[in-house]
Structure 1
Amino acid sequence: MVHPPAALGRDYLKAFEREARGGSVSSIKNEADAGLLDVSLTAGTQQDSQKPANGPGNRRKPATYTGLSNAKAGLLPPVAAPGRLREFTVEAMERPLNVAHGTIFPAWTFNGTVPGPVIRATEGETLKINFRNLTSGAHSLHFHGAHDPHFDGWEPIPAGKSTEYILQAGPFGVHPYHCHTAPISMHIAKGMFGALIVDPAGGRPPAREVVLILHGYDLANRGRNDLFCWNGIAGYYDRYPIRVKVGELVRLYVVNMVEYDPIASFHLHARTFDVYRTGTRMTPDEHTDVVTLGQTERAVLEMRFTKKGRYMFHPHQSYMAEKGAMGWIVAI
């Protein structure tokens, strides 16, 4: 079933409930898929080169992708083994994505997903980003944080062309990246953004870690959002909660990439959390239950759930929650 924008805007929650009762095709196949977004930090080796699973020709294929392809963008790579050079491949490509209840969005993506892949390194390492533009228009790749201005990513890369960006990973924290080609607001709104996590040299305490990137979809190209999502799919965490264990340390990397709405927030019910703004300090800036973020602002949030139960989270801009950005954390 394909819903018009109106059904997915003001009446989003009603549309969601109708589909749940009627058994219509959802963008998520099963609960096992949901576990892919709840990624704990375990020992592992990060691939030095990350490429999309499918080739560039996908941008011309029919819109048969499931929402799971979007959700995989929230996967958090494990802490990288020590190394001096981290090499990644990022490809700009046009791709139709299922973003809610069979609604197909003509996305502009990095590596075929919205958000783009999470890139992870340790402070001081060198990042080499091989950027290829496989789309029909100009795009670029701009990273927040500190780096050589020659690789700042504001220069458009024409269709079919490639370039590379050489960055020193730092400062430690969480930093967004996005296309910086004009009109920038459109390129971000179409899906060209992601997150770079830079771990401190000494590491952080072991924790259950999840990346949560808040953003919107302008379904009718009107310069305003009809849907709001965490990690690409409206209503995903409402239907498929993030699961954690009682007592374990939970770390959320929260990034605000909402275009057209200048302010957003993250609010957690029934618990409070430590806030590390931008993640660039090892001591918390505050302890609260809601953190407000301007466009591209971000924070690392840490918490423990001492009792079993369901804990709601959402932006406290209520219309965003009502249009898809409400979810749950379940402590078991």
Structure 2
Amino acid sequence: MHPHLKNLNPEMDGIPQNGPGVLETGESYTYEWIAQPAGVHFYHCHSLPLKEHIHRGLYGTIIVDPDPERVRNTPADYVTDHPSQITDTMVDDLVTEARTRNHEYAENDAVNELVIVMNSFDTDFDGENEVYAANTRAFAYGVGETDGNGDWKAGETKHPIQIDKNERQRVYLVNTTEFDPINSFHTHSQFFEYYDHGTTLLPTRQTVDTIMQTQAQRGIIELDYSDHEPGLYMFHAHQSEFAELGWMSFFEVV
């Protein structure tokens, strides 16, 4: 089991050449990983055939909360600015932001958090995906029927993700899609801040409505719907094929 973390011990890297190697049926091994850096991270099986193992679900998400006191002591670790550009006011702002991401602080309670894992399914084992999904659920929110060739009929809007317009929305987004080089995330009628890998406390991209991720890339999306009218706001992959084959959904702002 390989973690996408800063790992100082090669035996814990989870590849066949290091540590116990591949575990056989009935064997066990305990991994000990260092929770750094702060951000949203990824772990997955590292045994061959790798693409088949990842495609069939041997992966997961690791979220490491930033420690506000560490942020105050080493603020340069949490921004892309040169240390000489970091002011006392900026440090205070970084600490405040860290508290909203840390689940031991009350400030985090004002943020609604979601984990969205973008994935896909090769249903006929030909090395190409027939279905695309978020959190393994395809066609659950928008499209009702599709023939896989672009002809589809809209169905009932089932189970939209209901959010309070007065809450800050934070999405931990991870791409695990196999057999396609990229996946994407697009919001209708809204722009967002994006923190690539979630390792910074200042956005790496501001005021965007579409981002792309390669496999294993991840990040944090922050949304504010406080000035929007109540109703349904779509989000989906912006490869139209992916959306038509299942990867679309709605936020229901209330």
- Aligned partner of residue 128 in structure 2, secondary structure: coil
Partner of 1:154 in structure 2? 15
Equivalent positions of 1:13-162 (< 5 A) are 141-147=1-7, 148-155=9-16, 156-162=22-28
Match of 2:201 in 1: 282
On the 8 A contact 2:2/2:45 being kept in 1, the answer is: yes
Note if 1:265 corresponds to 2:187.
no
SS at match of 2:32: strand
Equivalent residue, structure 1, for 2:52: 186
Please, what TM-score do these two structures have when normalized by structure 2?
A: 0.73
Among 321, 324, 332, which residue is 2:243 paired with?
Answer: 321
The total of aligned residue pairs comes to 192
User: Given that residues 120 and 129 in structure 2 are in contact (C-alpha distance below 8 angstroms), is that contact kept between their aligned partners in structure 1?
Assistant: yes
Question: Alignment RMSD, CA only?
Answer: 1.1
Pair 171,322 (structure 1): closer, same or farther in 2 beyond 3 Å: same
Superposed, 1:192-231 pairs within 5 Å as 192-202=58-68, 203-205=98-100, 206=108, 207-231=111-135
CA distance in structure 2 between the aligned counterparts of 1:190 and 1:314, rounded to whole angstroms: 22
1:219-245 superposed Cα distances (whole Å, 9 cap, x missing partner): 111111111111112123432111111
Alpha-carbon deviations, 1:112-146, whole Å to 9, x = none?
xxxxxxxxxxxxxxxxxxxxxxxxxxxxx111021
Q: Give the Å deviation of 1:204.
A: 4.0
Pairing 1:291-310 to 2, within 5 Å after superposition: 291-305=211-225, 306-307=227-228, 308-310=230-232
CA contact (8 A) 2:2 2:14 kept: yes
Instruction: Name the SS of the counterpart of 1:214 in structure 2.
Output: strand
2: CA distance between counterparts of 1:254 and 1:157? 30
Q: Deviations over 1:37-80 (max 9, x none)?
A: xxxxxxxxxxxxxxxxxxxxxxxxxxxxxxxxxxxxxxxxxxxx
User: Percent of pairs identical after alignment?
Assistant: 37
Residue in structure 2 matched with residue 232 of structure 1 by the alignment: 136
Larger CA deviation: 202-211 vs 321-330: 202-211
Paired residue secondary structure (1:243): strand
Alpha-carbon offset, residue 286 of structure 1:
1.2
**What is the CA–CA distance in structure 1 between the aligned matches of 2:11 and 2:202, rounded to whole Å?**
33
Contact 2:5 2:34 in 1 (8 A): no
TM-score, length of structure 1 as denominator length: 0.56
Structure 1: gaps (5+ residues)? 1-140
Amino acid at match of 2:13: D
| Structure number with larger C-alpha Rg | 2
The offset of 1:157, in angstroms, is 1.3
Corresponding residue for residue 93 of structure 1: none
Runs of 4+ in structure 1 over 6 Å off: none
| Structure 2: gaps (5+ residues) | 17-21, 69-97, 101-107, 143-157
